[in-house]
Amino acid sequence: MTELGELGLSSYEEKVYRTLLVTGAVTAAELSDTSGVPKGRIYDVLNGLEARKLIWRQSSDPNRYVAVQPEIVVDRLLAERAYELKQEWDRYHEKAETVRSNLLPTPPTESSFWLGSLGSNEMSTALQQHMRTAENVVQAAVGPPYEDATWETLQSEVEGFFEGANVGLSVDLLVSEKVVTVLPDQFPDLIENQSADITVRMIPKVVLSFDIVDNVETTIDIPHPVSDKDRIGVVGIKDSEVVSEFEQQFRQLWDDAVPLLE
């Protein structure tokens, strides 16, 4: 490719422009003969060059064509190329943003959030209603921030949890060792008196408190940004991939845990 070709001229356009620099003002027919551009293409080439202001036409009979000064032509071709490159850059930038968005994980669309500190009446009621939605199985991992609370703070939530459980519901309750120190002496009796089938296991550490209901919904306790002894609320998610991931993590913890009540 020639240098003018790299700046955006076709082979016919370059032949016509270079010929005009030598011949000066000539007719289209003369230009076709001199440049070697076919007569069937010469007017298309001339109209294109004129539209880009690289040549100009003398008003005469017949019309004659004159080349614009090379310095001006080069600047105009450079401006055209710069504009085209800018358009191409914008197109690639938009494409990159689209690809980047498509590669990122899709946030769950079926989710909700409830504000509520530990032991609050609002959260106790919400927890009770949440448990009532369970038909088959609930898997619950209990760690922070329950570990640093008193039983008086937790009691209403624990009672709400069990009061919402339907008869025959299977509950796998996994607690950390620190949570066990918070539980009252009558906790075994509390479990024994429930209508649900409850199994409790203990593990040295639970990093995050969460539960899974019927493998269709998970709720996650969100730690408080200021106090490590409280939570700011609970987020509920029904996205199947998220629920499946939490169920898998719970199963791994459960397999490593030991029975607490036998």
Of 12-26, 41-55, 224-238, the one with minimum mean pLDDT is: 224-238
String of DSSP letters for 92-148: HHHHHHHHHHHHSPPPPSSEEEEE--TT-HHHHHHHHHHHHT-SSEEEEEE-TTGGG
How is the chain split into domains, by residue range?
3-102, 111-259
What residues contact residue 182 under an 8 Å CB cut-off, 6+ apart?
146, 147, 149, 150, 151, 154
Q: Which of 41-45, 104-108, 126-130, 139-143 has the lowest mean pLDDT?
A: 104-108
Mean pLDDT of the 212-233 span: 92
Q: Which of 109-113, 176-180, 187-191 has the least mean pLDDT? A: 109-113
Q: Please give the model's pTM, rounded to 2 decimal places.
A: 0.58
Domain 111-259 fold is Endonuclease; Chain A (3.30.870)
Which CATH code for domain 3-102?
Answer: 1.10.10.10
pLDDT score for 66? 95
Question: Mapping DSSP to helix (H, G, I), strand (E, B) and coil, where does residue 208 land?
Answer: coil
